[in-house]
């Protein structure tokens, strides 16, 4: 299948196409044959030379947001160079392309907007979605990332500014998973915004109305899914940063109808399970040994518990035994069965009131739950900065030799704890992964990287897997397989007891192939992909992973 328009482009039109433009890498013959003479400086550079020059320009910007803008402009000018640069400096540039800098880019989307990318689908055009999908650049699409901008990271409703998230995610689908950039499509469903600052802002580029809700919202989602089914059947559709009230119902409604998953629910869950899998191996324990306290009970937190629970079921626990390994705390305290404000998904993890009454009067808060439940694992998905206090962490560390502590909230300003504090309060015994990047820890005279539980460990590999094996659905077991593969790779790549809980970011393209293989094997086992041997799947994955390099652009002789 073609990855870009086959119509010949020449001269200035060729230089304006970011998928075909090679800039100063066009050689003299190409310049002569394609009408480029005089349009470029005379020097001819290799991709490596261009990337070196672009990296120096990148370093010339002091502020992360300005570096983000520079990289986005490069992406809109020359995609091969952008991905060549990004893959060479992935660990350094990931926080600029995605979290945490992408949060600021979303917040200021209308201010820094330069060039269009992807599709903006508004509520008023819901009956024309099929027609609008045909306006997409390029042809076939392997992966769509869609958001409605309502719950962007820990920043809340960003309206049309949420488009920064699908653009950033798809950059990583390509840089790590190797999905061809021409076969990706970011989409923003603009149903309005309830952010009054945006609605009253002078430069806001989105729909200046409050959010569509209820049946009208559901109608728009159905119109979008139907249009995707009709125009792009077989495309992986990833839901991103939808509010808790919508995220789970949308996933439940469509996960058995098309190739789809929700990254906040399932991707976050898989990378958390991957970190927990590594920690469990380092501690010489079994997954079934853990007692897990979770702060936060939104869709991401419940998704993490559901994923771990699925893994516990695979290890032989019953449904009830697996659910009993969890204690959930939200803004109103511990989730107990007598509460009437719980969703069906939350109620699975609600504790028996009789058990809690033995702890004394009142609804237990986090400190009390940790003191009574004596967890081996503490997970934060609350966006409550500093919620893992010294008292709580020291209390936990008194009852377990290697406490697993995962403050996963984004961005950094919303993290439940600073890893340096966690290490100090536990005398370096804590096994830590965070949602946002933090500097290395100094332990025993060594610098130890802090594992960032970024969904980048999972979603690019899932995209690569389903594209390579031609899967028709994303099953829970496929996501658990991804998580276990993440943990296994981290253990193999690590060293002794200071092994980071997640693989080195610099290795992620290689890791993505191994994780994709585990996902693809499980897809075949689950009957949602054609029969294939492991050797067949390895070949298909290797073939599908695009690498940024220039092709000859000269006209046929």
Is 98 annotated in the active site?
Answer: yes
Residue-level pLDDT at 479 = 97
**Position 549 pLDDT exceeds 80:** yes
Residue among 22, 83, 98, 123 flagged as catalytic: 98
**Position 351 pLDDT exceeds 70:** yes
Residue-level pLDDT at 2 = 41
Binding residues for a divalent metal cation: 240-241, 264
What pLDDT band is residue 515 in, cutting at 50, 70 and 90?
Answer: very high
The residue whose two tokens read 């390895």 is 538
pLDDT tens digit string along 122-159? Answer: 999 999 999 999 999 889 999 999 999 999 887 899 99
Residue-level pLDDT at 556 = 45
In this structure, the number of other CB atoms found within 10 A of the CB of residue 113 comes to: 16
pLDDT tens digit string along 377-430? Answer: 999 999 999 999 999 999 999 999 999 999 999 878 899 999 999 999 999 999
Residue-level pLDDT at 62 = 96
Closest CA to 395 of 279, 548, 272, 293: 293
Task: Say how far apart CA 245 and CA 242 lie, in whole Å.
Answer: 8
Binding residues: 151, 240-241, 264, 410, 454
Residue among 123, 169, 489, 550 flagged as catalytic: 169
Domains detected in the chain? 46-258 (3.40.50.10380), 266-453 (3.40.50.720), 457-544 (no CATH)
Asked if 356 and 364 count as a contact pair (C-beta separation under 8 A), the reply is: yes
What dihedral do alpha carbons 245, 254, 464, 97 form, nearest 10°? -30
CB-hemisphere CA count at 13 Å for 458? 29
**Position 497 pLDDT exceeds 70:** no
């Amino acid at each position: 299948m073609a990855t870009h328009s086959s119509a010949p482009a020449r001269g200035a039109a060729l230089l304006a196409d970011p998928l075909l433009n090679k800039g100063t890498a066009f050689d003299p013959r190409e310049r002569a044959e394609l009408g480029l003479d005089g349009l470029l400086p005379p020097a001819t550079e290799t991709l490596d030379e261009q990337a070196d020059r672009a990296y120096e320009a990148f370093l010339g910007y002091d502020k992360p947001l300005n570096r983000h803008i520079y990289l986005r402009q490069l992406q809109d000018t020359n995609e091969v160079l952008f991905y060549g640069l990004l893959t060479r400096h992935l660990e350094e540039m990931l926080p600029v392309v995605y979290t945490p800098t992408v949060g600021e880019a979303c917040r200021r989307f209308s201010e820094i907007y330069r060039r269009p990318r992807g599709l903006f689908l508004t509520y008023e055009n819901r009956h024309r979605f099929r027609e609008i999908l045909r306006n997409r650049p390029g042809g076939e699409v392997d992966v769509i990332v869609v958001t409605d901008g309502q719950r962007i990271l820990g920043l809340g409703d960003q309206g049309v500014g949420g488009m920064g998230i699908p653009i950033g995610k798809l950059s990583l689908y390509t840089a790590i998973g190797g999905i061809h950039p021409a076969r990706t499509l970011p989409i923003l469903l603009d149903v309005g915004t309830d952010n009054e600052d945006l609605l009253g802002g002078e430069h806001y580029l989105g729909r200046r109305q409050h959010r569509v809700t209820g049946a009208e919202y559901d109608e728009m989602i159905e119109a979008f899914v139907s249009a995707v089914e009709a125009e792009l059947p077989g495309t992986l559709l990833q839901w991103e940063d939808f509010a808790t009230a919508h995220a789970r119902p949308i996933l439940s409604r469509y996960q058995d109808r098309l190739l789809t998953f929700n990254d906040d629910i399932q991707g976050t869950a898989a990378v958390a399970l991957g970190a927990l899998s590594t920690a469990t191996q380092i501690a010489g324990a079994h997954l079934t040994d853990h007692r897990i306290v979770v702060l936060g009970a939104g869709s991401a937190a419940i998704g993490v518990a559901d994923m771990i629970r699925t893994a516990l079921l695979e290890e032989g626990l019953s449904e009830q035994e697996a659910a009993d390994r969890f204690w959930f705390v939200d803004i109103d305290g511990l989730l107990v069965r007598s509460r009437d404000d719980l969703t069906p998904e939350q109620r699975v993890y609600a504790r028996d009131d009789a058990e809690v009454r033995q702890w004394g009067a009142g609804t237990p808060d986090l400190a009390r739950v940790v003191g009574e439940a004596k967890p081996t694992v503490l997970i934060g998905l609350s966006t409550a900065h500093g919620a893992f206090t010294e008292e709580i962490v020291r209390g936990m560390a008194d009852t377990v030799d290697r406490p697993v502590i995962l403050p996963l909230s984004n961005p950094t300003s919303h993290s439940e704890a600073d890893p340096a504090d966690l290490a100090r309060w536990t005398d370096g015994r804590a096994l830590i992964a965070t949602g946002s990047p933090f500097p290395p820890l100094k332990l025993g005279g060594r610098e130890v990287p802090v594992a960032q539980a970024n969904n980048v460990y999972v979603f690019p590999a899932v995209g690569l897997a389903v594209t390579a094996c031609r899967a028709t659905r994303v099953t829970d077991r496929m996501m658990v397989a991804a998580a276990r593969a993440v943990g296994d790779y981290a253990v193999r790549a690590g060293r002794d007891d200071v092994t980071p809980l997640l693989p080195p970011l610099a290795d992620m393209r290689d890791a993505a192939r191994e994780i994709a293989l585990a996902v693809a094997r499980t897809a075949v086992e689950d009957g949602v992909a054609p029969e294939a041997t492991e050797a067949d799947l390895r070949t298909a994955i290797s073939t599908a992973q695009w690498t940024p390099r220039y092709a000859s652009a000269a006209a046929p002789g």
